[in-house]
């Protein structure tokens, strides 16, 4: 029984009726120079370039104008799309953005559009983040069928991923934040990723 209560306090909690899971990731996150360098390697591959273009086209189908990219990875989206600023919590990413004059504070003001490519699941308070968007939030994120699917997945990252969603769960969650889903696709899976969906959420 002791191990049950330990797991309840420190393990994955999944609410099937909401389609949302949460894992208590420690405050000390692995966002450093090696983390940034790894994403640089991933971005500079054929798949990395194709993913960036797919994300650019997803935004373009719904919106043309300035965008704030939240959680820049290695900065490939900011580099590849005009009128794009970036926000990050990795000091290396922040320095990269400042060197290019592209850093912006997500929480300093409202933004018409936010992009979150593999980012929403990392944010402690994602509701506060998406509140900053007045028109759209574009998201790519791992999607799961149930709790068993989560713990078997390579996307179950105990040092990074706080939030886990089903397809219905993330749509319901965004609806509660005041958004409607105007596009959902699995193009990133067709490009070689596993279990990832992309969404365009429009402010209602």
Given a contact cutoff of 8 angstroms between Cβ atoms, the answer to whether 86 and 80 are in contact is no
Confidence of residue 6 (pLDDT cuts 50, 70, 90): low
pLDDT tens digits, residue range 93-105?
A: 999 999 999 999 9
- Side-by-side strand order, sheet with 13-15: 13-15, 20-22, 163-165
pLDDT tens digits, residue range 133-159?
A: 999 999 999 999 999 999 999 999 999
pLDDT tens digits, residue range 10-35?
A: 699 999 999 999 999 999 999 999 99
The token duo for 63 is 């919106």
Which residues, at least 6 apart from 196, have a Cβ–Cβ distance to it below 8 Å? 118, 140, 141, 142, 143, 186, 188, 189
Q: Is 57 exposed, middle or buried (0-12, 13-18, 19+ CB in 10 A)?
A: exposed
At residue 41, the pLDDT reads 95
- What's the CA gap between 140 and 193, in Å, rounded? 11
Confidence of residue 5 (pLDDT cuts 50, 70, 90): low
Walk me through the domains of the chain, giving residue ranges and CATH numbers. 22-203 (3.40.50.150)
CA-wise closest residue to 20 among 159, 144, 103, 115? 144
- What's the CA gap between 75 and 92, in Å, rounded? 11
pLDDT at residue 125 above 70?
Answer: yes
């Amino acid at each position: 029984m002791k191990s049950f209560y330990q797991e309840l306090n420190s393990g994955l909690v999944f609410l099937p009726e909401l389609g949302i899971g949460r894992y208590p990731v420690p405050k000390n996150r692995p966002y450093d120079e090696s983390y940034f360098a790894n994403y640089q390697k991933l971005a500079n591959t054929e798949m990395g370039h194709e993913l960036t273009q797919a994300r650019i086209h997803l935004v373009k189908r719904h919106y043309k104008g300035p965008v704030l990219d939240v959680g820049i990875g290695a900065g490939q989206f900011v580099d590849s799309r005009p009128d794009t600023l970036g926000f990050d919590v990795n000091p290396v990413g922040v320095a990269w953005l400042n060197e290019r004059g592209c850093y912006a504070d997500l929480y300093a003001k409202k933004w018409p559009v936010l992009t979150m490519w593999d980012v929403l699941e990392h944010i402690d308070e994602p509701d506060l983040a998406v509140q900053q968007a007045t028109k759209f939030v574009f998201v790519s994120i791992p999607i799961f069928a149930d709790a068993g699917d989560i713990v078997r997945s390579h996307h179950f990252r105990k040092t990074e991923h706080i939030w886990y969603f089903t397809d219905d769960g993330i749509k319901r969650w965004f609806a509660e934040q005041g958004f409607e889903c105007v596009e959902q696709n699995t193009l990133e899976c067709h490009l070689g990723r596993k279990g990832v969906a992309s969404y365009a959420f429009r402010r209602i």
